């Protein structure tokens, strides 16, 4: 099954909403220093300009699509996209798991999980991944002196 | 200046520099040769390994990956008809037909020669041009810097995709991301949402890895499930055993190699243009100036050398705006900017004054890299085609591991991994919606410079924007930005029609 996305319209709407959200977040998220408050060069100055540019250009994209009927349609295979987002979900779980299980166990689970997700039936690939992961872990922790987290960070 | 050059030359001769240069070339060739991977991804993945090296060795190591990657892309293009990198697509047009005619090995060696010459000429131009431009820009004030930075981001936003508006939105997102954390002027916190780690801003390296690597890894995931798997099984047609590269062959292609090298160097020095554009421009020029243009596309060796000399000439030339102005001219240059910063060196005009010796050593190293790439390529060419058969299923988890370990190593914190994955997911979605990713990185890298100089300029002028048009250099950059944006809009409209 395929999905057709009018990128000017969808991208424009997403960016317009994002710019509105950021605009209203600015007073809450950026406290101005009394010395600069009210001046043109305070901390909110550049973020407001950028959000303004984003809003104007996203409106431009929406106008292009709806009024001038100029659209850039991309077609995606829904099955592949679900597969991609499913894998991104696995990566999120992996990063979260590092906090609880430590880097080595989490990455070994990620490696095996990735092969399983790709429906790999080759035992050789599983062995290669486990050995390669152990070597890379050793290189990072011992040769590069990167303190990759142990269990229960 | 000559004294600094001699000191740089002396400093360059260190055994570890030569060792890591050669390791970098090999890594680059392998990354370039595997379809779907690029030299740029190689730089990102091996960036953490450079942290413990001295500045000179680390930058030369990463540059060697970049340079090797551009040549590596030609291996799969020529031998199996699948371009290893986008820049090698033009190489494939004539390279693969030559392999089908039984000249695969000879074509590969000729491409190697063209790549090495292109890289060397580009390196020499870097050596001459970067200090000269830096000398000119050393007296720039905040308005000039602001206008220049704006020009850099605009050019990249314009060139990165067909839609200028989407490019500028991407650039704006990048600048906004760079503003997270403490405002260096007023001390206010911005967009930290109460997260302690965000107070010092988003870390550069996890962000770079996330933007470039996650969409690339997901593409590899697709590759395991698509026709690419079948394509990679294409049989390598055996080369004729006695088919050496003769002096006559070299003489025939020399003018095309030189032409391609200069085209590549010129295009490479323009921020955002990139190796792919250079390769096609050079190919097109070689075809136009040929007496037998009808042979192009059917196995004309000049087509191969035109593309290869140009795409390799982009490598060093793309460092000209980085080293002289502090503006990265390509995604790889943006990653290298991060590497410079990790080593405590901030690219820009003052770098030549403060750390000129190391810079000259690096630039000399870039020239020498092309020579060693030629030697490695000659020795390893017959084995290199095998790397294109690396199974994607093994590659995906390995890339994820290297990326996450690298993201962690940037700050020795799990926070880096979290930034990597969040930024990566956002980048993946933006790419699906046709928003170019390179302007995000450029915006992030140049954002602080842009904001700082804009605010300082307005303080200097007491709030008047006239300061940007009353100073000649600043006015020139603003005019160039405007002309470029109008030109891009016009060109995009022509393409649509």
Q: What is the pLDDT of residues A48-94, one digit of tens each?
A: 999 999 999 999 999 999 998 888 899 998 888 999 999 999 999 99
The number of folded domains in chain A is 2
What are B491's two structure tokens?
């060109």
Residues A67 and A96 placed together within one structural domain of the fold:
no
Q: B interface mutation test: which of A74, A95, A126 has the most B CBs within 10 A? A: A95
Q: Residue B138 sits in which domain range?
A: 2-241+250-496
Interface contacts A/B by beta carbons within 8 Å: 185
Distance from CA of B473 to the nearest CA of A (A): 23
Residues A9 and A64 placed together within one structural domain of the fold:
yes
Encode pLDDT of B64-113 as tens digits. 999 999 888 888 888 878 777 778 888 989 998 998 888 888 899 999 99
In a domain, A62, yes or no: yes
**Cβ(B292)–Cβ(B298) below 8 Å:** no
CB nearest to B188's CB, from A5, A30, A72: A30
CB nearest to B455's CB, from A41, A125, A133: A41
Confidence of residue B349 (pLDDT cuts 50, 70, 90): confident
Q: A interface mutation test: which of B161, B214, B403, B405 has the most A CBs within 10 A? A: B405
Rounded to whole angstroms, how far apart are CA atoms B127 and B121?
10
CB nearest to A72's CB, from B188, B434, B459: B434
Q: B interface mutation test: which of A6, A57, A87, A122 has the most B CBs within 10 A? A: A57
For B175, name the nearest residue in chain A, comparing CA atoms only. Answer: A50
Residue B282 has pLDDT above 50, yes or no: yes
Please name the helix (run of DSSP H) or strand (run of DSSP E) that holds residue A73, with its range, or none: strand A73-77
User: What is the per-residue pLDDT for B239?
Assistant: 53
Encode pLDDT of B192-206 as tens digits. 998 989 998 999 889
> What three-state secondary structure class fits A120?
coil
Residues A52 and A87 placed together within one structural domain of the fold:
no
ipTM: 0.93
What would the 3-class secondary structure string for chain B be?
A: CHHHHHHHHHHHCCHHHHHHHHHHHHHHHHHHHCCCCCHHHHHHHHHHHHCCCCHHHHHHHHHHHHHHHHHHHHHHHHHHCCCCCHHHHHHHHHHHHHHHCCCHHHHHHHHHHHHHHHHHHHHHHHHHHHHHHHHHHCCCCHHHHHHHHHHHHHHHHHHCCCCHHHHHHHHHHHHHHHCCEECCCCCCEECCCCCHHHHHCCCHHHHHHHHHHHHHHHHHHHHCCCCHHHHCCCCCCCCCCCCCCCHHHHHHHHHHHHHHHHHHHHHHHCCCCHHHHHHHHHHHHHHHCCCCHHHCCCCCHHHHHHHHHHHHHHHHHCHHHHHHHCCCCCHHHHHHHHHHHHCCCCCCHHHHHHHHHHHHHHHHHHHHHHHHHHHHHHHHHHHHHHHHHCCHHHHHHHHHHHHHHHHHHHHCCHHHHHHHHHHHHHHHHHHHCCCCCHHHHHHHHHHHHHHHHHHHHHHHCCCCCCHHHHCHHHHHHHHHHHHHHHHHHHHHHHHHC
Residue B229 has pLDDT above 50, yes or no: no
Contacts of A145 in chain B (CB under 8 A): 52
Question: Do residue A88 and residue B428 have CB atoms under 8 angstroms apart?
Answer: yes
The number of folded domains in chain B is 1
Contacts of B52 in chain A (CB under 8 A): 144-145
User: What is the per-residue pLDDT for A35?
Assistant: 60
Single residue among A48, A71, A94 that ends a domain in this structure? A71
Distance from CA of A111 to the nearest CA of B (A): 5
Instruction: Report B:216-235 residues touching A (Cβ under 8 A).
Output: 218, 221-222, 224-225
Residues A9 and A26 placed together within one structural domain of the fold:
yes
In a domain, A148, yes or no: no
Confidence of residue A37 (pLDDT cuts 50, 70, 90): low
Residue B390 has pLDDT above 80, yes or no: no
Query: Is B163 at the interface with chain A, CB within 8 A?
Result: yes
Question: Do residue A95 and residue B418 have CB atoms under 8 angstroms apart?
Answer: yes
User: What is the per-residue pLDDT for B431?
Assistant: 92
Instruction: Report B:20-39 residues touching A (Cβ under 8 A).
Output: none
Confidence of residue B216 (pLDDT cuts 50, 70, 90): confident
For A128, name the nearest residue in chain B, comparing CA atoms only. Answer: B394
Residues A14 and A63 placed together within one structural domain of the fold:
yes
Contacts of B183 in chain A (CB under 8 A): 30, 43
Which of B224-238, B273-287, B295-309, B310-324 shows the lowest mean pLDDT across its residues? Answer: B224-238
Mean pLDDT of all residues belonging to chain B: 86
10 Å CB burial of residue B354 (0-12, 13-18, 19+) is exposed
Residues A65 and A9 placed together within one structural domain of the fold:
yes
Give the DSSP letter of residue A42. Answer: S
Give the DSSP letter of residue A5. Answer: E
Instruction: Report B:388-447 residues touching A (Cβ under 8 A).
Output: 391, 393-394, 396-398, 400-402, 404-405, 408-409, 412, 414, 417-418, 420-421, 424-425, 428, 432-435
Encode pLDDT of B124-168 as tens digits. 999 988 888 887 877 788 999 899 888 888 877 776 666 889 999
Encode pLDDT of A95-150 as tens digits. 999 988 888 899 999 999 999 999 888 999 999 999 999 998 888 888 777 788 76
User: What is the per-residue pLDDT for B224?
Assistant: 58
Q: Residue A103 sits in which domain range?
A: 80-143
The proportion of chain A whose per-residue pLDDT surpasses 70, expressed as a percent, equals: 92
Residues A132 and A99 placed together within one structural domain of the fold:
yes
Residues A26 and A86 placed together within one structural domain of the fold:
no
In a domain, A151, yes or no: no
What are B123's two structure tokens?
């390196």
Residues A90 and A51 placed together within one structural domain of the fold:
no
Residues A32 and A64 placed together within one structural domain of the fold:
yes
Distance from CA of A42 to the nearest CA of B (A): 7
Residue B389 has pLDDT above 80, yes or no: no
The proportion of chain B whose per-residue pLDDT surpasses 90, expressed as a percent, equals: 35
Single residue among A45, A71, A97 that ends a domain in this structure? A71
Question: Do residue A11 and residue B435 have CB atoms under 8 angstroms apart?
Answer: yes
Residues A89 and A129 placed together within one structural domain of the fold:
yes
Residue B370 has pLDDT above 50, yes or no: yes
Question: Do residue B398 and residue A149 have CB atoms under 8 angstroms apart?
Answer: no
Q: Which residue has the higher pLDDT, B86 or B487?
A: B487
């Amino acid at each position: 099954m395929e999905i057709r996305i009018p990128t000017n319209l969808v991208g424009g709407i997403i960016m317009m909403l994002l710019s509105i959200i950021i605009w209203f977040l600015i007073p809450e998220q950026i406290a101005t220093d009394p010395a600069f408050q009210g001046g043109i060069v305070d901390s909110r100055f550049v973020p407001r300009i950028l959000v303004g540019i984003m809003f104007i250009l996203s409106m431009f994209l929406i106008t292009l699509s709806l009024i001038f009927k100029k659209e850039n349609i991309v077609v995606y295979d829904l099955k592949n996209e679900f597969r991609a987002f499913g894998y991104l979900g696995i990566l999120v779980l992996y990063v979260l798991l590092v906090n609880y299980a430590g880097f080595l166990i989490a990455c070994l689970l990620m490696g095996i999980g990735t092969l399983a997700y790709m429906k790999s039936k080759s035992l050789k690939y599983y062995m290669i991944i486990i050995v390669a992961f152990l070597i890379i872990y050793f290189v990072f922790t011992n040769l590069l002196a990167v303190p990759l987290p142990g269990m229960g960070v | 200046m000559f004294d600094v050059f001699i000191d740089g030359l002396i400093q360059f001769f260190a055994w570890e520099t030569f060792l890591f240069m050669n390791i970098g070339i090999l890594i680059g060739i392998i990354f370039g040769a595997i379809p779907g991977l690029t030299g740029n991804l190689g730089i990102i993945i091996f960036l953490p390994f450079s942290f413990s090296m001295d500045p000179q060795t680390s930058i030369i190591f990463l540059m060697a990956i970049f340079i090797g990657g551009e040549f590596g892309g030609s291996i799969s293009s020529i031998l199996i008809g699948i371009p290893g990198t986008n820049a090698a697509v033009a190489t494939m047009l004539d390279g693969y037909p030559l392999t089908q005619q039984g000249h695969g090995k000879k074509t590969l060696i000729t491409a190697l020669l063209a790549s090495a010459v292109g890289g060397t000429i580009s390196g020499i131009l870097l050596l001459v041009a970067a200090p000269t431009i830096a000398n000119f820009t050393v007296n720039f004030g905040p308005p000039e810097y602001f206008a220049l930075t704006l020009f850099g981001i605009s050019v990249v936003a314009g060139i990165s995709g067909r839609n200028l508006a989407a490019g500028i939105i991407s650039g704006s997102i990048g600048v906004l991301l760079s503003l997270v954390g403490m405002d260096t002027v007023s001390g206010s916190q911005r967009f930290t949402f109460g997260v302690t780690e965000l107070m010092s801003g988003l870390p550069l390296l996890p962000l770079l890895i996330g933007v470039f690597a996650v969409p690339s890894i997901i593409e590899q995931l697709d590759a395991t499930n698509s026709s690419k798997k079948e394509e990679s099984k294409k049989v390598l047609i055996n080369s004729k055993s006695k088919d050496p590269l003769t002096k006559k062959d070299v003489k025939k292609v020399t003018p095309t190699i030189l032409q391609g090298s200069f085209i590549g160097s010129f295009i490479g020095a323009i921020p955002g243009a990139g190796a792919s554009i250079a390769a096609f421009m050079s190919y097109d020029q070689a075809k136009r100036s040929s007496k037998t243009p009808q042979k192009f596309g059917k196995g004309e060796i000049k087509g191969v050398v035109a593309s290869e000399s140009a795409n390799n000439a982009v490598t060093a030339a793309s460092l000209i705006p980085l080293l002289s102005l502090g503006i990265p001219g390509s995604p790889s240059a943006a990653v290298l900017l991060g590497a410079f910063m990790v080593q405590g060196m901030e690219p820009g005009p003052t770098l030549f004054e403060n750390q000129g010796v190391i810079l000259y050593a690096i630039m000399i190293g870039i020239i020498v890299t092309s020579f060693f790439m030629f030697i490695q390529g000659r020795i390893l060419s017959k084995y290199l085609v095998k790397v294109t058969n690396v199974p994607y299923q093994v590659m995906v988890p390995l890339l994820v591991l290297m990326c996450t370990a690298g993201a962690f190593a940037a700050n020795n914190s799990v926070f880096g991994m979290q930034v990597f994955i969040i930024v990566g997911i956002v980048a993946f979605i933006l790419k699906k919606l046709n928003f170019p990713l390179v302007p995000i990185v450029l915006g992030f890298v140049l954002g602080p410079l842009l904001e700082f100089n804009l605010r300082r300029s307005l303080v200097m002028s007491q709030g008047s924007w006239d300061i940007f048009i009353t100073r000649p250099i600043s006015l020139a950059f603003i005019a160039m930005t405007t002309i470029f944006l109008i030109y891009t809009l016009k060109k995009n409209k022509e393409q649509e029609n």
